[in-house]
């Protein structure tokens, strides 16, 4: 056990955790905004896939990871606009449309990839990590925490920005009202449809960035169905965070650790099955829920379409 706390193992663990956490963090942040506004976005995984595909192509052809991330955000927004039109404007069922969007995204992205590259998986040369001056020379954290793509730091800052936005600004108040009592928001003269559309589109952009990060920085290439359930993990995290978005950082880090721990343990020559490790975070949450039985509070108008004049 004493080779568990060596420098390479810890570095690999933290670096791997940050790599695995970032896509989930972005997606869960987006989902939080959307859920606060009353839209349960089950299509999150689909938006991540669109972001991953668009982001990868952006980075591949424009030769810049930043351009790729931007394309990823756009890809996510395109997917989210489908959701905005169908669920917010036309008020169709959010779960049906969410699942449809997810299946459609899986199909379309892998189809496009197949048509474009066949069986080849081109890689991106420069994935754009930086080394933070001075701090990067520190042991363990230098090679992990301070050698990341800047989007990781931006993402963490963004979480705090969203927290401030939700709590202190009138936009945040409108968003929360759209999820809690849309009737009151409507009575106050704010357009519920527009507020929810803003929420869904920002969710799409964030999920798109998360997907793009996964393709550009995480894997360096796009493979069909590469998100492998991280969108659904993000949905669970957003629900557990209950609108307190800073928890999103903490919980996605815990998930990041659990996703990368088996690789790190292999470096320490300890073999633990990935199946066991990946199961642990969920098991912990379930045990905590059973033992402490916390009410998981959700916005009361979540997943309900808003019809003016109906009660």
Query: Residues 8-47 vs another protein: string with x where CB under 8 A?
Result: --------------------------------x-------
Rule CB under 8 A: say whether 271 interacts with another protein.
no
Which residues from 229-248 bind another protein, rule CB under 8 A? Answer: 229, 232-233, 235-236, 239-240
Rule CB under 8 A: say whether 84 interacts with another protein.
no
Local structure of residue 137 (DSSP, 8 states):
G
Span near another protein by CB under 8 A; candidates 54-62, 164-172, 185-193, 227-235:
227-235
Closer to another protein at the Cβ: 41 or 65? Answer: 41
**10, 265 in Cβ contact below 8 A?**
no
Instruction: Please give the C-alpha separations between residue 25 and each of 30, 220, 225, 230, 242, in angstroms, as whole numbers.
Output: 9, 19, 19, 10, 14
Q: How far is the CB of 221 from another protein (least distance, A)?
A: 16
Span near another protein by CB under 8 A; candidates 132-140, 144-152, 214-222, 291-299:
291-299
**256, 237 in Cβ contact below 8 A?**
no
3-state secondary structure of 4: coil
Closer to another protein at the Cβ: 269 or 295? Answer: 295
Alpha-carbon torsion, ordered 272, 239, 84, 173, to 10 deg: -140
Query: Within a 13 Å sphere around the CA of 217, how many CA atoms are in the beta-carbon half?
Result: 27
Span near another protein by CB under 8 A; candidates 15-23, 84-92, 157-165, 245-253:
84-92
Which residues from 114-133 bind another protein, rule CB under 8 A? Answer: 114-115
Choose, by CB under 8 A, the member of 67, 81, 104, 266 that binds another protein: 104
Instruction: Bin 242: left if φ > 0, else alpha if -120 < ψ < 50, else beta.
Output: left
Closer to another protein at the Cβ: 157 or 289? Answer: 289
Instruction: Please give the C-alpha separations between residue 181 and each of 84, 93, 109, 187, 241, in angstroms, as whole numbers.
Output: 19, 19, 37, 10, 20
Cα(204)–Cα(78) distance, integer angstroms? 8
**56, 110 in Cβ contact below 8 A?**
no
Residues that bind another protein (CB under 8 A): 40, 86, 90-97, 99-108, 110-111, 113-115, 224-225, 229, 232-233, 235-236, 239-240, 273, 275-276, 278-279, 282-283, 285-286, 289-290, 293-296, 298, 300-304
């Amino acid at each position: 056990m004493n080779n568990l706390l060596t420098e390479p193992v810890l570095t690999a663990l933290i670096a791997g955790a940050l790599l695995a956490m970032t896509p989930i963090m972005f997606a869960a942040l987006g989902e939080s905004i959307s859920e606060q506004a009353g839209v349960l976005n089950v299509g999150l995984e689909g938006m991540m896939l669109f972001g991953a595909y668009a982001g990868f192509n952006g980075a591949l052809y424009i030769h810049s990871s930043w351009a790729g991330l931007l394309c990823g955000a756009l890809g996510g927004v395109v997917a989210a606009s489908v959701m905005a039109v169908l669920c917010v404007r036309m008020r169709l069922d959010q779960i049906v449309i969410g699942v449809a969007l997810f299946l459609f995204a899986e199909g379309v992205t892998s189809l496009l990839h197949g048509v474009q590259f066949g069986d080849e998986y081109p890689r991106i040369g420069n994935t754009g990590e930086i080394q933070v001056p001075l701090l990067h020379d520190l042991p363990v954290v230098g090679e992990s925490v301070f050698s990341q793509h800047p989007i990781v730091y931006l993402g963490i800052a963004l979480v705090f920005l969203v927290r401030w936005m939700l709590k202190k600004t009138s936009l945040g108040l409108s968003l929360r009202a759209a999820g809690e009592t849309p009737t009151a928001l409507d009575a106050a003269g704010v357009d519920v449809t527009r507020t929810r559309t803003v929420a869904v589109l920002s969710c799409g952009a964030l999920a798109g960035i998360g997907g793009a990060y996964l393709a550009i920085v995480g894997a360096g290439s796009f493979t069909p169905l590469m998100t492998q359930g991280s969108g659904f993990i993000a949905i669970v995290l957003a629900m557990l965070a209950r609108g307190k978005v800073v928890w999103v950082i903490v919980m996605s880090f815990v998930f990041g650790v659990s996703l990368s721990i088996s690789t790190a343990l292999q470096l320490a020559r300890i073999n633990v099955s990935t199946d066991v490790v990946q199961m642990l975070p969920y098991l912990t949450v379930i045990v905590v829920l059973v033992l402490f039985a916390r009410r998981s509070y959700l916005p009361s108008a979540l997943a309900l379409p808003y019809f003016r004049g109906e009660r």
